Structures are given as structure tokens and as C-alpha cells.
Chains A and B, each alone.
Chain A
Amino acid sequence: MSSRIRTELIEINMGPQHPSTHGVLRLVLTLDGEVVVDCKPDLGYLHRGIEKLAEMRTYVQFIPVTDRLDYLSSMLQNAAYVGALEKLGQIEVPDRAEWIRMIVMELQRIASHLIFYGSMGLDLGATTPFLYGMREREDIIDLFEMLCGARLTYNYFRPGGVSRDLPGGFYSKAKAYIAKQRERLKEYDDLLTNNQIFIGRMRGVGVISAEEAVNWSLSGPSLRASGVAYDVRKADPYSFYEKVNWQVITRNEGDSYARYLCRMDEIRQSLSIIEQALDMIPEGELKCKTPQRLKLPEGEVYHHIESSRGDLGVYIASDGSDKPYRLRWRAPSFVNLGALGRIVKGWKVADVVAILGSIDVVLGEVDR
């Protein structure tokens, strides 16, 4: 007589309405008890057909649309797109504008990582980190508001420069913010980084080896946490990243905690980049002259930058008109999400929340 209990696999939906899916994402999980046997992400709930929209807008009209891709890193979206236009159109950018760009790009990276810090805590049941992260992010948002009037969708970059100069008081406010943020990072560490419950949920969870991370095309902190020192800012330098001192942060563990620590250390690197840049910025023009109706020569271009989430690539095929013939947006979150199914396999349902949080996707750019 057999005493075996009959068991069967069960399929459950995590999302699309779920507090930890960071937007509208549905994960179809196949479970054996509590263990994840298979995970299929179901995307597209936010799909707006942005690549198609681009074909119907002039090059300049499309800049504000880029703000709405990864809406937590709008400045970086602006930068990737405008960078591609400048490369194909061979448009020069004045030095002052390029320094300002680097400052806002790094401020944006910190703002995005602060949201990550907060939501990572929230995902695992700690509410306070979110308040801390949002509090400091507010200072960055205030700086951006001084700069361009907007708090989320900045539309700040222009082909050949930026739309406005740094306003009076920006320098001192930015310096004060850097000092404050450095102090507050210690608080963050006390609250979350060294918290035993948090470490218990994160360390050793969702490990991916360097070889696999590369094979799955991961990028950004999610790749560097597996020990691969690939950062577009170093590998394919753009802007003035070669003129300041900073390091690519890597860790070797490849687990959720390493992905968390990478981002926290990147905040420190970004603060240092901004600090140096603020003192190196020269006087000068903000924008070179470009025609009102920008036309790009026939041909194609691929430009990529290191966004807060990874390798953000923009491909433009031009037929010589004032609209792109084809625009391709290589969104790091989309590609990183492709590896989620592999990473969560064999872990428990509760770990899916930690692992998804540690990959830090934004659905606006996943779905496009």
C-alpha cells in the first residue's frame, strides 16, 4: 500500500495587479509546492507603440516622448536619443552643455537608484527605506525643477546642447545636496544594508554566474553584480566620463544582495562624478545652431549609453527626411527581464519578489 501523497504542479499569476511587480507586469509562475519550476513574464500592458510613434514625428518632436520610456530616468532617455541624433547629424555640442549633461545624467542615476533603494525595502516589508529614498530624491527633483521646470518628464536635451543654463543657486544647492546625501547613505546602511532580516532575504538568493549573465545579455548593475565589469561609460566612452575619476563597481557574488550593493556603491561614484564636474564646468554656449526642422542624412546610427538600468541603445535608420525611417529602442529593462525566468527557477515564491526587485525593471521601457 502506497502512502505517497499525490502532488501536482500549480500555475499561479503574480500580477498584473501586484504591489511588488513595479508597474503592470504579470508573471505566470508554475509551482511545485512553494518552489518555482517555471516563470513566464507576460508583458505589454503598457505598450504604446513608441517605436511606431517615432516614425510619425519629427526628430525634435520625439524628444518629449523619450521621457516616457523609463520615466524614472528621463534625463538618460533624452541623452541616449539626442546622442544618436548628434552622431548621425554630426552635430557638435558646446563644452558647457556637455558638462551640464553629465551632471544631470548622474543626478538622474542617483534619483533612480534611490527609488530602487526604497522599493527594494518596500518589497521585502520595510516601509521606512522608501520614505528615506524619496526624501533625498526630492532634492534632485528640486534641482531638475530649477533647471527646466519639470519634475519627472524633463525634455531637457536638445540636438547640439541643452534647453536652459544652470540657474543661479544651482551650484551651491547641488554641493549641499552631495554633502547631505553622503551623510544619509550611512543612515541607509544602518537601516537596510546591515539589517539582518534584509540580508537574510537577499544574500545568496537568485544567484546568476558571470558566464550565464553574459549569455542572457544582462546589463547594468544586474550584470556587474555577477563580476562582469561592463559599463558603457568606460567601454564606449561618451560625454566627459573620461575626464573625471570614477570606478566601475562590480561584485562577484551574483546574488540579489550583490545587485543591491552595486547600486548603492554606484550612488557614491555618481556623487563623486557630479562633485568633480561641478568644479570643471566652463563658461560658454549652451547649444549650437541647428535648423528648426532638423533633417538627418540618409544612413543609420547606433548609439548607446549606460542608463541607470543598463545598456540603453538607440538605433535610427534615416531616409534623409525630418522623421526617422525606423527607430529602435534597446531597453535594458526589457532584456534584463528576459533572464528573470532563469534566475527565479528553483527559488521560493517569496524569493521571486526579492529577485525581481533586485533586477530593478521599469515597465515604461519594458513595454515601450
Chain B
Amino acid sequence: MTELTEKAIRDAFPDAIIETATDMDGVLNIKIDPGAIVPVCETLRSLGFDYLADLFATDRQDRIEVVYRLTALERNEKLVLRIYLDRDKPEVDSVTSVWKGANFLEREAYDLLGVVFKGHPDLRRILLPEDWEGHPLRKDYVIPD
């Protein structure tokens, strides 16, 4: 199944795929060009990846990494999408148009790491107060007294 998915994505987006790998669970990990996130997700959804299991970001100091964990529930196949964003201007299109469940998850990544999801219907802080300064899960965040 995984090979079919990889081939379908490679055929549809020959230029958007930067790297593919298989992780310790045998799940296909695809690193893609952030600019192609929405069309890639739309295609994946039409390939059966109907469930966005998780979406989160990590500050890797030279970049912000956003991970999308997808599942095709019907055939129990998993897939991980990964994008690298510029740490000084982490912006990417929102996938809320593909999976509604992305709404809260993107707001959380915005709140804690400052990733801006363009086209999100309601991009506000979610866990921290609205007047909070900074994004605590950034590695250079200074914890206030």
C-alpha cells in the first residue's frame, strides 16, 4: 500500500517532494515543499487519507518543522508529511479546508511556536491568554519570572 501511495504522490507532484524515508514503525515520511502543502493534502485525502491524526511543530533552531500525521482509516495506512519553515518567518497555508480537525491543532502550533497558518478561519492563541508575548516552545524563549 505504502509503495502505491508514494508512487501516486511522486507522479502528481514531481517537484514538491524533497525527500522520502521510512520511520521505525515502517510509516512513510515525506518531506515536501511547504508551498505545495494544500494541493498535496487534497490529493492525499482523495487517496483515502481521510483522518488527520495529529499536527504539531518543533523548533529545530535552524528551522521550524511542522509534522502532519495522516491515517487512511479504511485500510489502516499511515503517512507522515513534514515541512521545514523559515524560523524568522514561519508561514504556511492552512489545511483546515482539507481537514476541519486542523483548526485547533494549527491554532496550538501558532500559539506555542508562532507558526502562521495562512487562510485559517480563526487563527488566535488557544492555550495562552491573548495578550501573551512570545511563543514558549521556541528554544530561545525566555521564561518570565
Which size bracket describes the interface of B in this complex? 20 to 34
Q: How far is the CB of A367 from chain B (nearest CB, A)?
A: 6
Task: Report B-chain residues with C-beta under 8 Å of the C-beta of A63.
Answer: none
Q: B residues within 8 A CB of A138?
A: none
- Residues of the B chain whose Cβ atoms lie less than 8 Å from the Cβ of A44: 125-129
**One of B69, B127, B136, B137 near A326 (C-beta < 8 A):** B137
- Among B113-145, those with CB < 8 Å from A are 122, 125-129, 136-137, 143
Chain B positions within 8 Å of A47 at CB level: 127-128
Query: Residues of A contacting B99 with CB < 8 Å?
Result: 215-217
Chain A residue total in the interface (Cβ 8 A): 39
Of residues 72 through 113 on chain B, the ones whose CB sits less than 8 Å from some CB of chain A are 73, 76, 99-105, 108, 112
CB-defined interface of A354-368 with B at 8 Å, one 1/0 digit per residue?
Answer: 000000000000011
> With A313-B54, A330-B54 as given contacts, are A335 and B101 in contact (CB-CB < 8 Å)?
yes
Complex: A337 Cα to B23 Cα, angstroms: 30
Instruction: Name which residue of chain A comes closest to B141, CB basis.
Output: A52
B52 within 8 A of A: yes
Is B73 touching A230 in the complex (CB atoms < 8 A)? yes
Q: Which of A313-368 contact B (CB under 8 A)?
A: 313, 315, 317, 325-326, 328, 330, 334-335, 337-339, 342, 367-368
Give B residues with C-beta under 8 Å from A. Answer: 23-25, 50-54, 56, 58-59, 67, 69, 71, 73, 76, 99-105, 108, 112, 122, 125-129, 136-137, 143
Report A's interface with B, CB cutoff 8 A.
40, 43-44, 47, 49, 51-52, 87, 211-212, 214-218, 228, 230, 235, 299-302, 304, 311, 313, 315, 317, 325-326, 328, 330, 334-335, 337-339, 342, 367-368
What are 18 A-to-B residue pairs whose CB atoms are below 8 Å?
A: A40-B122, A43-B126, A44-B128, A47-B128, A49-B136, A52-B137, A52-B143, A214-B51, A215-B99, A216-B99, A216-B100, A217-B51, A217-B102, A218-B101, A230-B73, A299-B24, A337-B104, A338-B101
